[in-house]
Structures are given as structure tokens and as C-alpha cells.
């Protein structure tokens, strides 16, 4: 688990913050320990928002490294990936499945989260 105190800024650098910790839990147990021990928590994705949504002096939590399975729909045409995974990680993990799923569309901003597989 990466949990350090360091400066954070969004993609453009227009929003900056000094969180008490930057935490990237790899398991649900680690995630639970961090949340239980924190007075204030905000979650960050790729930090592309221009609004000060992720700015905090508390714990800034990234779920990008959280290891969870991909859930594939029964008809095999779509899948759910864990919240916080980038398109790049989602695509990479989906490609390694037996179905070798691929993104129906690929964003120019490959670090963003949320997508649909086909
Ligand atoms: C160059 C550029 C182009 C863009 N183009 C478009 C566009 O074409 N269309 C469009 O709609 N938007 C666009 N955006 C905006 C961008 O898609 C949104 O700001 C989006 O929310 C960024 O996602 P993020 O993962 O970086 O979120 P962040 O900026 O990291 O977080 C945004 C919010 O989501 C919350 N959040 C993030 N991850 C989680 C999680 N796992 N669980 C709970 N809450 C979470 C955060 O707490 C925060 O409140 C663009 C941004 C940039 C920089």
C-alpha cells in the first residue's frame, strides 16, 4: 500500500492540495483500514477534473491499484470493472480474459475511468 504525505495537483495543475496522506490500497482490507482511520477522505481518479473536487487536507484515496475481478455479463457483450481503474488498466485486464474483450471505443484520455467493453 502506498500511503505518503505529499503535494497533489490535478492534471492541469490548476488545483493543488496538501493531503495528510496519499493512499493507494491494493486490497479491500487495506482500503477498510485507511477509511476507518481517517477523519476526512476524498477519492481521486485520474485528477482530470478542473473543479476542486479532490482537494483535501485529509486522506486522498486512489482506487487505481485496488485488485478486484472483472465481472462479465452473461451474454459476454459487456463487463463491469472496479471503480477507479483507468481505461488503460481495464483494457489490459479485459484483454487477458479468455474472451479477449476489447474496448468498443478508445478515449484520447486513456487514463480516465469508466467504459464499456464489447
Ligand atoms: C483534457 C481533458 C479533456 C476532457 N474532455 C472531456 C469530455 O470530452 N467530456 C467530458 O464529459 N469530460 C471531459 N473532461 C472532464 C473529465 O472527464 C472529468 O473531469 C472526469 O471526472 C475526470 O475523471 P477523473 O477520473 O480524472 O476524476 P477526478 O478528477 O480524479 O475526480 C472527479 C470526481 O470524481 C470523484 N471520483 C473519482 N474516482 C472515484 C471513485 N473511484 N469513487 C468515487 N468517486 C470518485 C472524485 O472524488 C471527484 O469528486 C476532460 C478533462 C480533461 C483534462
In ligand 1, which atom is closest to the CA atom of 114?
25
83 and 38 fall within a common domain: no
21/55 same-domain check: yes
Q: What's the confidence (pLDDT) of residue 107? A: 63
How many domains would you assign to the chain?
2
Which CATH number characterizes residue 29's domain? 3.30.43.10
- The reply to whether 91 and 108 lie within a common domain is yes
Predicted pLDDT at 110: 58
**pLDDT higher than threshold 60 for residue 1:** no
Is a pLDDT exceeding 60 seen at residue 115?
no
Pocket test of ligand 1: the residue of 25, 31, 48 to mutate, having most ligand atoms within 8 Å of its CB, is 48
Same domain, 16 and 40: yes
pLDDT digits (tens, 9 = 90+) for 63-109: 999 988 889 888 888 888 888 888 888 888 888 888 788 877 766 65
Same domain, 22 and 72: no
78 and 33, same structural domain? no
From residue 113, give the alpha-carbon distance in Å to each of 14, 65, 80: 20, 13, 12
Residue 96: domain span: 68-118
Most ligand 1 atoms within 8 A of CB, residue of 43, 47, 111 to mutate: 43
Q: What is the pLDDT of residue 113?
A: 58
Give pLDDT, residue 41.
97
The pLDDT tens digits for 15-57 are 999 999 999 999 999 999 999 999 999 999 989 999 999 999 9
Select from 27, 43, 62 the last residue of a domain.
62
Amino acid at each position: 500500500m502506498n500511503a505518503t504525505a505529499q503535494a497533489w495537483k490535478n492534471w492541469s495543475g490548476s488545483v493543488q492540495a496538501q493531503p495528510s496522506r496519499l493512499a493507494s490500497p491494493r486490497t479491500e482490507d487495506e482500503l477498510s483500514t485507511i477509511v476507518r482511520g481517517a477523519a476526512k477522505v476524498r477519492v481521486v481518479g485520474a485528477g482530470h477534473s478542473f473543479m476542486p473536487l479532490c482537494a483535501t487536507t485529509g486522506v486522498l484515496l486512489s482506487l487505481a491499484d485496488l485488485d478486484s475481478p472483472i465481472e462479465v455479463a452473461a451474454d459476454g457483450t459487456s463487463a463491469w470493472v472496479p471503480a477507479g481503474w483507468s481505461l488503460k488498466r481495464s483494457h489490459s485486464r479485459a484483454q487477458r480474459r479468455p474472451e479477449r474483450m476489447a474496448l468498443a471505443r478508445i478515449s484520447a484520455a486513456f487514463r480516465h475511468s469508466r467504459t464499456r467493453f464489447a
